[in-house]
Chain A
Amino acid sequence: MTGSDAPSRLLIEIAGLGVALNCEDEEFARLVAGAYSSFLALPGTPAACEFAVHIAPPRGTDPDEDVRVSLADGKWQIRRGDFEAEFDPRARQGWVRHTANPYSVDTVLRIVHTLLAADAGGFLVHAAGAILNGRGLILAGASGAGKTTMCRLAPPDAVLLSDEICYVTRHGEEYLVHGTPFAGELGIPGVKVSAPAAALYLLARGNQHRLVPLKPAEAARQLLRCILFFAEDAELAGKVFNSACEFVRRTPVYRLEFQPEPGVWELLK
């Protein structure tokens, strides 16, 4: 098993950030390692944070409870019907308690990365992503907007980063878009590569293929609707708001009106 120092320790690296999962159950660790095989870190990669993973039913949660993320005594409390977790952002340590379901881990990873990204000027966005001619393209939209369709229509020389969630990180004046293992309708994890973010396209079905440049305020509004954000915390919400505003100041944003046929990619070259 790669990405681990022990059979039950996994280091899952997304957007250059390794999250270590110290699983008490080796069989579950193997299951998770299989699901994230292309995102396991190379040996020696430092961990950005460590989680102890316990296989046990969450305590005192309603099985139908929706996800809740709140800050108490400086620690993030994360709960859903099938898991509970805690993350101390200062110590960069936490724990997860859940049934033996890899989807619980998937949700915890998504949430933890939204917290890590927000502190560093980045964000996770509901978007398909691709690298075409060395340019990172972000194709954002809610469910049904056409993310998976755009991936199916992509030309063979496009590297698909994800059909569901892309990760945007800030590096000085530049933004990088990264693939993630978080799969959408294609059910295929993305790839662990990144490229400078060249443009953001907000997907909209139309009668023709057309690019409409958006003014920054409208672009920020639309982008904010697509950013993954779970926390009930005004300070963190403010950070995400600022990140979105900074991103649209530095990156061209368009509404991409399209019909589902391959010619739409000609507009993106």
Chain B
Amino acid sequence: MSELYVARHPAAAWRRLEDEVIVMAAQESWLFTLNEVAAEIWEAADGRTPLASIVRDRICEKFEVDFEQAYRDAEELLRALAERGIVLLSETPLEAGTP
């Protein structure tokens, strides 16, 4: 399995509100609410940390879930968010602020 890196799109406005994160895709003003698990991934999405590490270090232990399942769910979510233009996915590390 190749590494996958994820970064928040620099044009997306976002805020953590208690245990959730709300994200606005600025161009279309779409709004997304990320639940507690997705919010953890979002905050860790710096473009430099592999997704596998994010899932292992921030999801599996905290939420007591199996790595394989958690990784599949995270990848599915991130690919959906990438289609909406609010995250960037790459098999190589991403520079912060890369559009």
Contacts and interface: CB of A to CB of B under 8 A. Distances in A.
Contacts of B15: 220, 241-242, 245
A237 to B, nearest CB: 5
Nearest to B39: A217
Central interface residue in B11, B24, B29, B33, by most chain A CB within 10 Å: B24
A245 to B, nearest CB: 4
Contacts of B27: 234
B13 A218 contact: no
B13 A221 contact: no
A216 B13 contact: no
Contact of B17 (A216, A224, A237, A238): A216
Given A224-B31, A242-B15, A245-B15, A237 B20 contact: no
Interface in B45-99: none
Interface string B25-53: 01101010100000000000000000000
A237 B31 contact: no
B20 A215 contact: yes
Nearest to B15: A245
A245 B20 CA distance: 12
A37 to B, nearest CB: 36
Interface string B11-24: 10101011011101
A248 interface: yes
Given A234-B27, A237-B29, A220 B13 contact: no
B29 to A, nearest CB: 6
5 contacts: A217-B17, A234-B27, A237-B24, A241-B15, A242-B15
- Give the top 4 A-B pairs by smallest Cβ distance, nearest first: A216-B17, A217-B20, A234-B26, A245-B15
Interface of B: 11, 13, 15, 17-18, 20-22, 24, 26-27, 29, 31, 33
